[in-house]
Amino acid sequence: MTKRPDVIVIGAGPYGLAAAAQLRSDGVDAHVFGEPMSFWRGHMPKGMLLRSPWGASHIGDPNGSLSLDEFERLHGSEIARPIPLAAFVSYGQWFQHRIVPDLDRRRIQRVDPVEGAGFQVTVDDGEVIICRRVVIAAGIAAFAWRPPEFDGIPRGLASHSNEHVDLGQFAGANVVVIGGGQSALESAVLLGESGAQVEVIMRARALRWVGRATRDGLLGRFLFHRTDVGPAVVSQIVARPKLVRRLPLRTQRHLTRRSLAAGAALWLRPRMGNIGLTFGRRVTEAARSNGHLRLRLDDGSDRSVDHVMLATGYHVDIGRYPFLAASLVSRIRCVDGHPVLDEGLQSSVPGLHFLGAPAVHSFGPLVRFVAGTDFAARTLARSIRPRRVTTTVRGDRGALYRASEGRPR
């Protein structure tokens, strides 16, 4: 790279792509690193369907010309609803080719602070780039959470749900899935359809189904925002992140808990016939036994299984991003692993911005979903777009006129 970009964006998923689209539209030289849609391609199972509806699955772009609708039109055939994972990945790749054809697929090895100069970004081939602004849109893969009961258990016996693309490898196996949300239930269904014997163990005492029935019609549009994050009425509030950040912290956390509560899409229900469900229980002990895994539950019962799939979600902790230097992380003000961000999604380290799940503490649950990409990209760009610096210039005949020059903030 021969020139220093205005901004380096780390990540080429929906948030990184949306940020690049808006920044470049505003005249900011944004250089994007990452593999396009890598989390969706490498950490989600084949056959998965998006829980988010069509209207909440567009990646944000400045004028709406890169919507799912446009992709479907150019695709030449109707895309199924719910949206298949493969179709959404293709949409993201199509978006990338149009917005960031010069995507840099090299891996970022390290980001260090540089006093007075911003950041030193080291690429895996050894190139070092100095840049005043870095946008972290690196997704949630690094935040996958394993319950402590499974510490020391090899991944061949207990793995996180985000570690698998092809669940056919479990055909004929006895598998327990831990969790009660969409990932757990859909993984269980896909495992069962691949020939595994499956039991789902969850702490909840009943399944929480999330459906479209109450979202349709005039009343539905009143109760639910089109972004479709959160239950009735709450959805309308969390769709306005600038409002959420001004609410009392206790209220913000209540809205986030309700919006992120575990639940599964109604369209999964007809496919649950061969799945065993155990409610109101948790695993208290896990141990290896003759090549299998023995589980002890809190009611004293035991299970002997071939594999445990941990659909136990993600706990944000930006210190787990492997490329962020410890000296940089220590300077970032955080709450429960989330950076505290200003109105431009900037952390307490000037020039360092975070998009996606790390922004939930500051802006609420919308920014954890694809539906939040438009808000995040526009908000980011507004805070750093080139500002117009007006100067006085003398013309050919001595007349004075005003000229402006764009300079990144």
Domain containing residue 167: CATH number: 3.50.50.60
Q: pLDDT value at position 389? A: 43
Same domain, 99 and 178: no
Q: What is the DSSP letter of 272?
A: -
CB 92 within 8 A of CB 13: yes
Confidence of residue 401 (pLDDT cuts 50, 70, 90): very low
Same domain, 200 and 299: yes
Residue 92 reports pLDDT greater than 80: yes
Please report whether residue 11 resides in a domain: yes
Q: pLDDT value at position 387? A: 60
For tokens 């849609």, name the residue: 37
Percent of all residues in the chain with a pLDDT value above 90, rounded to a whole number: 89
- Provide long-range contacts, Cβ within 8 A and 24+ apart, for 206-211: 206/279, 207/180, 207/264, 207/277, 208/180, 208/261, 208/262, 208/263, 208/264, 209/263, 209/264, 209/265, 209/266, 209/269, 210/51, 210/182, 210/263, 210/264, 210/265, 210/266, 211/265, 211/266, 211/267
Q: pLDDT value at position 95? A: 98
Please report whether residue 163 resides in a domain: yes
CB 183 within 8 A of CB 313: yes
Mean pLDDT estimate for the chain: 93
Q: What is the DSSP letter of 78?
A: P
pLDDT in tens, 283-311: 999 999 999 999 999 999 999 999 999 99
Same domain, 66 and 114: yes
Residue 404 reports pLDDT greater than 60: no
Range of weakest confidence among 39-48, 62-71, 213-222, 260-269: 213-222
Closest CA to 188 of 256, 271, 93: 271
Amino acid, single-letter form, for residue 23: L
- Domains identified in the chain, total number: 3
pLDDT in tens, 21-55: 999 999 999 999 999 999 999 999 999 999 999 99
Q: pLDDT value at position 393? A: 43
The domain boundary residue, chosen from 218, 242, 259: 259
Please report whether residue 349 resides in a domain: yes
Please report whether residue 403 resides in a domain: no
Q: From CA 180, how far away is CA 203, in angstroms rounded?
A: 7
Same domain, 53 and 136: yes
Please report whether residue 190 resides in a domain: yes
Region 81-104 average pLDDT: 98
Q: From CA 317, how far away is CA 326, in angstroms rounded?
A: 13
Q: From CA 303, how far away is CA 25, in angstroms rounded?
A: 56
DSSP string, 209-271: EE-SGGGSHHHHHHHS-TT--SSTTHHHHHT-HHHHTTS-HHHHHHHHHHHT---EEGGGGGG
CB 183 within 8 A of CB 311: yes
Q: Would you tell me how many other CB atoms lie within 10 Å of the CB of residue 186?
A: 24
Please report whether residue 398 resides in a domain: no
Same domain, 156 and 293: yes
Q: What is the dihedral of CA 75, 78, 80, 86, to 10 degrees?
A: -10
As given in the structure block, the two tokens for residue 264 are 């599964």
Residue 108 reports pLDDT greater than 70: yes
Same domain, 103 and 184: no
Please report whether residue 409 resides in a domain: no
pLDDT in tens, 217-253: 777 888 999 999 999 999 999 999 999 999 999 999 9
User: Which range of residues forms the domain containing residue 293?
Assistant: 148-208+262-310
Q: pLDDT value at position 222? A: 87
Q: pLDDT value at position 399? A: 39
Region 154-175 average pLDDT: 98
Residue 264 reports pLDDT greater than 50: yes
Confidence of residue 73 (pLDDT cuts 50, 70, 90): very high
Residue 203 reports pLDDT greater than 50: yes
Q: pLDDT value at position 406? A: 54
Same domain, 306 and 178: yes
Same domain, 48 and 134: yes
Same domain, 11 and 122: yes
pLDDT in tens, 206-216: 999 997 655 66
pTM of the model: 0.93
Residue 191 reports pLDDT greater than 90: yes
Same domain, 213 and 194: no
Same domain, 352 and 378: yes
Please report whether residue 325 resides in a domain: yes
Same domain, 236 and 288: no
Q: pLDDT value at position 271? A: 97
Residue 398 reports pLDDT greater than 80: no
